[in-house]
Amino acid sequence: MNTAGIIDLVPPAVRQQWKDEGIYPNKPAFELFREQVEAHPDQAAVISPDESISYRELYQSALRLARGFRDAGVVPGDVIACQLPNHWACCAIDLAAAALGAVVAPFPAGRDRLDIQSLVRRCNARVIVAPEAYNEVDLCAMIESLRPSLLSLRLLVVQGASRAGWQTLDRMLDVEPLSEAELPLVCPDSPVRLLVSSGTESEPKLVAYSHNALIGGRGRFLQRLLPENETFTGFYMVPLGSAFGSTATVGVLCWLGGTVVIMQKFSVSQAVQMIERNKPNFLLGVPTMMQRIAAEPALQQIDRSGLRALICGGAVIDRATVQRCTGAFGCSFINLYGSADGVNCHTLPDDDIEAILTTAGKPNPGVCEIRIVNDEGKTLPQGEIGEVLARGPLSPMQYVNAPDLDARYRTSEGWVKTGDLGMIDAKGYLVLKGRKKDIIIRGGVNISPVQVEGLVAEHPDVVSVACVPVPDEDMGQRLCLCVTLKEGSTRFSLPTIRGFLQQAGLDAGKLPEYLHFRRQLPMTPAGKVDKRALAQDVAALAVPTLKAG
């Protein structure tokens, strides 16, 4: 048990083995960041469209915030919740919490009232940092209205103008920084960050990570992709508050000494400008982001020669998207299978194209070991499909204040039950087959959305695609195809796309029975396709566009 009251479900002997093997740095995050500051104080740490902040400046800002948090009563183990859009202050808050031995709980801007209430209450946050407003919602007023139900909150910090009852972020940054001598000793096995995992629960989950797991797991994942003697410059198109964005502070800044490039909110035109202006060697995003940028003609007008690879995660990727992106960006494609719950597997830049198109890469036990098991938990041989289990140096400690989730998703040996279906092929690559809970059941026939989406994505006019179920009294569920098309393309009919899918070999019982065109597919705060919102939209349709025969 530690000061945050969080226990580690990975056996101590297993964690110790990773230390003995040198996988874990066995140093807290802020100490590692300080070493990077000493090595290159004037190098850009975080670059946004409007400004650039150096390592020295970020270090001083983190220590100023640490003073403000400490003076407000924050002690080791306390939780600092943060809901900011991408900004260098996100990294400064991460570092300030790490310096104090506190735990930061960031979640992407855009979470609604119920999610904020659930997350802050579940982690017993002492502090919350938020902008005045986001997407025309007065976040301060929303949080104030929740205050009676959030009894742990002691300090409210606003990014913006001063208002009653709130401290401003600017004022906290306008004080003398804490000296190193005033910082507490921090154990690298203690929790430092809580990641949000939405999963399929009615409420979002929080997963606790230690310094060692974030740096020695997620940080080393990035290190494996970086050629020797090259600086990592990563353009994070995903929110820094998401699980995908959690590698920015600890991985890029604390571990690799690189540069984080950000924009406040995803925009195709601004993304192209940032690529041209800042010459990142890695782009980190989800499939919908990569698809939209690849379809943007302006991308072909800029210098893309510095790009090493696209790191694409958040959803199973389809063959057509990989091919279009490698052609449009002119670089390698890294297919990342990862989650906040504690799984990581990915292809490598030098993998052959077939491995990138069809697999999630070879599991790397130095980051995360993968097992495929049956419903009884027994390991299956190569080639057989079962549930994906994961455990490795990147493994989290436990779910926060959710013993029911620990019991459901963690084994006694610390393995995470992902709920994903997959197999290990003859060459040792992980092949994903979708999620157990994503299967659409139409009249007793199991339909994999991943399979259908991959085939639809092959259509030359399609930019993005998602399949969602529509409730049906007769068949249980029917399949709705939601698509966005390239600019200037003519909408195809449902019979036309069904014919296209039949020619591709899809069984007639799996063909879509609804067709729904969107200008853009809705995205969650973390940047993934919001299938829940799509399903709610299409559920309003009274009669299928085409009845099953």
Structural domains of the chain, with CATH = 54-210 (3.40.50.12780), 236-242+264-436 (3.40.50.12780), 439-538 (3.30.300.30)
**Cα separation of 86 and 49, whole Å?**
11
Which contiguous run of DSSP H or E holds residue 472? strand 462-472
Q: At 438, is the pLDDT very low, low, confident or very high (cuts 50, 70, 90)? A: low
β strands within 300-451, DSSP E:
309-312, 332-339, 343-346, 369-373, 386-391, 398-399, 416-424, 430-435, 440-442, 445-447
pLDDT of residue 269: 96
Six-digit token string for 375: 């419903």
3-state secondary structure at position 22: coil
Q: How far apart are CA 145 and CA 157, in angstroms?
A: 15
Q: Check residue 445 and give its pLDDT.
A: 66
Query: Which pLDDT score, from 0 to 100, does residue 549 have?
Result: 38
Task: Reply yes or no on whether the pLDDT at 517 is more than 80.
Answer: yes
Share of the chain above pLDDT 90, in %: 71
Could you read off the pLDDT of 135-157 as tens digits, one per residue? 888 999 999 999 998 989 999 99
Tens of pLDDT, residue by residue over 49-82, are 999 999 999 999 999 999 999 999 999 999 999 9
**Confidence class for position 541, pLDDT limits 50, 70, 90:** low
In this predicted structure, the answer to whether residue 548 has a pLDDT above a threshold of 50 is no
On the question of pLDDT at 546 being above 80, the answer is no
| DSSP reduced 3-state for 375 | coil
Average pLDDT of the chain? 90
Please, where are the H alpha helices in 101-187? 113-123, 139-146, 169-172
The whole-angstrom separation of Cα 469 and Cα 471 is: 6
- Per the CB < 8 A criterion, the answer to whether 426 and 37 are in contact is no
Residues 232, 203: contact at Cβ < 8 Å?
no
Structure tokens at 116: 């904020």
Query: Greater confidence, 482 or 527?
Result: 482
φ/ψ region of 47 (left if φ > 0, alpha if ψ in -120 to 50, else beta) reads: beta
- 43 exposure class (CB count in 10 Å sphere: 0-12, 13-18, 19+): middle
pLDDT of residue 221: 93
Confidence band (pLDDT; 50, 70, 90) for 545?
Answer: very low
User: Residue 329 — pLDDT band, cuts 50, 70, 90?
Assistant: very high
Tell me: pLDDT of 232 over 70: yes
Asked whether residue 547 carries a pLDDT value surpassing 50, the answer given is: no
Distance CA 396, CA 86 (A): 24
Helices (H), 190-297: 211-213, 220-225, 247, 268-278, 287-294
Chain length of the chain: 549
As a whole number, mean pLDDT of residues 229-246 equals 94
**The pLDDT value given to residue 543:** 42
pLDDT tens digits for 365-390?
Answer: 999 999 999 988 899 999 999 999 99
pLDDT at 542: 42
Residue percentage of the chain with pLDDT more than 70: 94
**Residue pLDDT, tens place only, 1-22:** 455 679 999 999 999 999 999 9
Q: What is the pLDDT of residues 387-424, one digit of tens each?
A: 999 999 999 999 999 999 999 999 999 999 998 889 99
CA distances to 415, 429, 445 from 382, rounded to whole Å, are: 19, 10, 26
Instruction: Identify the bridge partners of residue 52 per DSSP, sorted by sequence position.
Output: 47
Q: Are 52 and 215 in contact (CB under 8 A)?
A: no
pLDDT digits (tens, 9 = 90+) for 166-206: 999 999 999 999 999 999 999 999 999 999 986 544 567 89
Residue of higher predicted confidence among 486 and 526: 486
Instruction: Please state, in angstroms and as integers, the Cα–Cα distance from residue 295 to each residue in 110, 274, 323, 332, 411, following that order.
Output: 26, 17, 12, 17, 43
Q: Mind listing the pLDDT tens digit for each residue in 84-131?
A: 999 999 999 999 999 999 999 998 887 778 888 888 999 999 999 999
Query: Which residues lie across from 235 on neighbouring strands?
Result: 261, 283
Residue 159's CB is within 10 A of a number of other CB atoms, namely: 19
Residue 444 has pLDDT above 70, yes or no: no
**Would you say 220 and 7 are in contact if contact means Cβ atoms under 8 Å apart?**
no
Question: What is the enclosing helix (H) or strand (E) of 94?
Answer: helix 88-100
